[in-house]
Structure 1
Amino acid sequence: MGAGRGHGRSAPPRKSNLKPLHWSKVTRALRGSLWEELQRHGETQIAPEFDVSEIETLFSATVPKTSAGGKAGGKKPAESKPTKVQLIDLKRAYNVEIMLTKVKMPLPDMMVAVLAMDDSTLDADQVENLIKFCPKKEEMELLKNFVVVDCVGCFDFFQFFLELMKAPRVESKLRVFLFKIQFNSQVFDFRKSLNVVNSACEEVRNSLKLKEIMKKILYLGNTLNQGTARGSAIGFKLDSLLKLTDTRATTGKMTLMHYLCKLTHSSAVFKVNQFTGSYQVNRIDQVLASKTPDLLDFHKDLINLEAATKIQLKQLAEEMQAIGKGLEKVKQELAASENDGPVSEIFHKTLKEFVGAAESEVSSVTNLYSVAGRNCDALTLYFGEDPARYPFEQVTATLLNFVRLFQKAHEENCKEAELEKKKAQKEAEMENAKEKNLTKKEVKD
């Protein structure tokens, strides 16, 4: 084996002549983090099996001399006109008329469906419209006092108001009805998001392949940063994963990310031409092939990572609050409706049954929400970051970006290798043709 191999020993302390990896160095491992785990088992000092001399050639800070050179007024917003306030708004009356044509049932039947909270008769959109057009306080006073207003076409409008006013706190009842209609789908979607968050956190923390890749990056960075302030790191900040594409080989197109992909491949892959920086189809040294698992598909461990990046913890908190507050308002209306008399008898009975089932569901998702919060903090701490400064959303976004950059680098490795393979085949064919021509010439002579 080459003298440049690590074989479990840390590289000798010396001033680095290599291009640096501009990572953010971790000097103290937080308890429970990946870096603390590696330190505890002494793994930060164990060098992965790869050729250090190859790194020194590829990422030398000294550029070798070469013969060939290369090139380095809009419109002003309309002023809002003051709106004339009217007790009976004609536009509002007209909109109620349109809404009632969509309900397509007599007003008394509609009110029966509301008080029975019959979601097979009225859907969420219809109930929302009923809430929107609930009579205002002044409109109720108007009707209670039998004030006659000359309003052509307002007959259905007033009939609608009069029908709604038969139920005490009709707007509260409608909002409770809407909450009941939307409750199952709302809780289902909320639970689904929480499960995605919890699964993503567990997948990342339990991925042995990701852990191995992090170890390789740590060793690569310490190798490049030997003898500098960035060297001898026990870990690195998560954002440093995205800086692997910034460190390029002295010649050629290879970056440290390409090289990392090369290291993580245990079967037929690429060997780098140390003079041109190009790739050649080959097999990595048998020691590396036998001791390094195939890590290229580490993203398959992180099934829920991409879905988790689309979830905001702030939105989850707002959703949890909306569900909790919604249930509280339902309970308040349940207590109030008990004294309404016969008009709310069916409503009260139906609502009481709903509350019993809803309380159990809300308790369940509240517990799941708490678990998700703890998992998010644990995920951030796993990478040695502070949850207050490096939130869950930033962790998942960084990891997903790293996965995509890693996959892109691997694809580029494959394309380059395929080009080199075709080139080698073409050169071999030309060489064979020359040999045949020479043979024919010798036979003739």
Structure 2
Amino acid sequence: MIPSGHPDAPKLSPLKQLHWSKVPAANTRKTVWDVSEESIKLDFNKQILDRLFCSKTNMSRTGTHSTLRNQDKITIVDMRRSNNIGVLLSKYKLTGPWVVDIINSMSDEHLNKELVTALIKCAPTSDEEQLLQSYTGSKNILSPVDQFLVEMLKVPKIRERLNCIQYKQSFDSLFEEIINGSRLVERCCQWLLKAANLKQLLHLILNIGNYMNSGTARGNATGYRLNCLLTLSNTKSLDQSITLLNYVAKIVSDRYPHLLITSDPLLEAASRIHWKELSNHLVSLQQGMMTVQKEVERQQSTVGMDTFTTKMNQFIKSRLDHLRDAANIIRGVEQLYDTVMKYYVEDYSSPEEFFSLLHNFMTMFKQAHLDNLRDMENDKAIRPKIVHKAERIMCQRSLSTTSLPRVSLNLAPQQEENQDTVRSSAAAAAAAVGSNSGSSIQTKSKGLIKNFKNIFLRKR
């Protein structure tokens, strides 16, 4: 037995590591690293090296070696990934034994979506699994992250099981999204096939357009592509005071108020459904189910029946009918949408494009109608002010006039005899202005002016 302190005696504790990248032995021939007799003779005092560069020692007062404390930890996995996993362990306060227990027991209480996603990020990759399994040293000197990963490997096919659990957790919400979206598009298609008021409005615009296009190649049309509905507001009157869309809205308001359609909430909601994305969700569920089925069968044959395989088999059996129902609904809605496209003579590949077009048009049409109502209200508010201003001007002119020139009123020949009466009233107003003052002037002048207006309007 080699005594303690001898140069060839085993190290009392692990030494600090010298981090380098090794050159493969096959590449060292005839290089600086080629072994020579001189290099073999190079030696050093191992005892001093042990004492100087041991990880951590605690020497007693008598100089004898005691227990090791806080040894440097060995890290097997990549340092960056180790740091990322360490953050997740700290965030969710994860320990290896607890994670193994909740996975093996398939605890729905603890295995929520967020935690499963975090565990999938932590689960060892195939390369890491090989490295960890090939390690034969003490687990106590491994880093906390490596110790956690070693513990996770106690769950057979841990990564595959976590992926199956994640699929199981996301199935119901994704399935519900597919069904709700499909039913919404289905109801919207049915509504468009029965929308009689929309059909009449489109025909009214067709008649107006054919009149405007008469004598041109665009005239005498039997129908039109609906994308032109969004350009009606671009066509303006000669004086730029009104758009064609406002004109159509005014005709509808005056003559066909039942055609004052507005965008149905159903149409607006359906325009936000991305059909291709919805279909892809179904494909994703179908492919995921096939993957889960194969993995559960594989684990049954290699691991045997346990809580995981039992619960996953129950899940698969209960959800296969759901997938078949969803596929039938998707197929039926696509056929119904094809019918809508044929009815409106359009070829939009996705329902949301067509629904968005109609929704935008109805929104613009409603706004045009509201603009027309606002303009009418403004006219009603301005008209009394104009009349009042005209009366005030007439009154001021009457008060300042002392003699009135003979003005032709352009009356019909048979009304010529009434001109003298009109002029006499106007002259009387002027005389009243000249002979009176104060409030009596204003009162008599207003009365005479009113008399003047009544006579003029009656004779007209």
The bucket for the TM-score relative to the shorter chain is 0.5 to 0.7
Q: Per-residue deviation at 1:172?
A: 1.4
Q: How far does residue 329 in structure 1 lie from its aligned partner after superposition?
A: 1.4
8 A Cα contact 2:271 2:355, kept in partner: yes
**1:99 equivalent in alignment to 2:105:** no
Structure 2 CA distance, aligned partners of 1:246 and 1:145?
Answer: 74
Say what the alpha-carbon RMSD is for the aligned residues.
2.9
- Equivalent pairs counted in the alignment come to 331
Give yes or no for the alignment of 1:402 onto 2:373: no
Counterpart code for 1:161: L
Instruction: Name the residue aligned to 2:165.
Output: 177
Q: Which of 313, 316, 325 in structure 1 is aligned with 2:275?
A: 313
Match of 1:339, SS state, is helix
Tell whether the 8 Å contact from 1:119 to 1:181 is kept in structure 2 after alignment.
no
Q: 1:179–1:427: structure 2 CA closer, same or farther, 3 Å change rule?
A: same
Instruction: Give 5+ residue unaligned stretches, structure 2.
Output: 1-20, 22-74, 396-442, 452-460
After TM superposition, the structure 1 stretch with the greater mean CA deviation from structure 2, 319-328 or 108-117, is 108-117
Cα displacement (A) at 1:164 = 2.5
Q: 1:186 aligns with which of 174, 182, 185?
A: 174
| Conserved? CA contact 1:108–1:163, under 8 Å | yes
Question: Larger radius of gyration, structure 1 or 2?
Answer: 2
| Aligned counterpart, 1:359 | 320
Aligned to 1:339: 301
Aligned match for 1:304, one of 245, 248, 266: 266
Superposed CA offset, 1:224-263 (max 9, x none): 1112111111100111111212222223421111111112
Q: TM-score, normalised by structure 1?
A: 0.67
Partner of 2:218: 230
Q: CA deviation at 1:146?
A: 2.5
Offset of 1:315 from its aligned partner?
Answer: 1.2
1:440 and 1:176, CA in 2 relative to 1: closer, same or farther beyond 3 A? same
Instruction: Give the alignment of 1:225-264 within 5 angstroms.
Output: 225-264=213-252
Contact 2:225 2:346 (C-alpha < 8 Å) held by counterparts: yes
Q: 1:133 to 1:324 in 2, by over 3 A?
A: same
- The aligned residue for residue 186 of structure 2 is 198
Residues 168 and 340 of structure 1 are in contact (CA less than 8 Å); yes or no, is this contact kept in structure 2? no
Conserved? CA contact 1:381–1:387, under 8 Å? no
Map 1:59-74 → 2, pairs under 5 A: none
Look up the SS of the partner of 1:245 in the other structure.
helix
Q: Return the alpha-carbon distance in structure 2 between the equivalents of residues 161 and 442 of structure 1.
A: 105
From 381, 397, 414, give the equivalent of 1:422. 381
CA distance in 1, matches of 2:444, 2:185: 68
SS of the residue 1:125 aligns to = helix
Greater percentage in helix = 2
Secondary structure of residue in 2 paired with 1:360: helix
Q: Deviations over 1:362-420 (max 9, x none)?
A: 222222221222233233222212245xx433312221221222122112111111111
The match for 1:113 among 102, 114, 132 is 102
Measure the CA separation in 2 of the matches of 1:366 and 1:250.
55
Q: Is the 8 A contact 1:245 1:257 kept in 2?
A: yes
1:115–1:210 distance in 2 versus 1, CA, 3 Å = farther
1:156 Cα shift? Answer: 2.8
Tell me by how many angstroms 1:176 deviates: 0.8
Q: CA deviation at 1:191?
A: 2.0
Q: Distance between the aligned counterparts of 2:444 and 2:274, measured in 1?
A: 70
1:59 alignment counterpart: none
Report the CA distance between 1:304 and its aligned residue: 2.1
Q: Secondary structure at the match of 2:307?
A: helix
Preserved CA contact (<8 Å) 1:377 1:392: no
Pair 372,149 (structure 1): closer, same or farther in 2 beyond 3 Å: farther
1:188 to 1:145, Cα distance in 2 relative to 1, 3 A = same
Match in the other structure for 1:328: 290
Equivalent position amino acid for 2:278 in 1: L
Q: Which residue number in structure 2 is paired with residue 381 of structure 1? A: 342
Alpha-carbon spacing, 1:251–1:143, altered in 2? closer, same or farther (3 Å): closer
Contact 1:264 1:296 in 2 (8 A): yes
Partner Cα distance (1:425, 1:442) in 2: 18
Q: Residue 335 of structure 1: CA displacement?
A: 1.3
Q: Which residue is 1:146 aligned to? A: 135
Distance in structure 1 (CA, Å) of the matches to 2:444 and 2:365: 47
Distance 2:447 2:133 in 1: 116
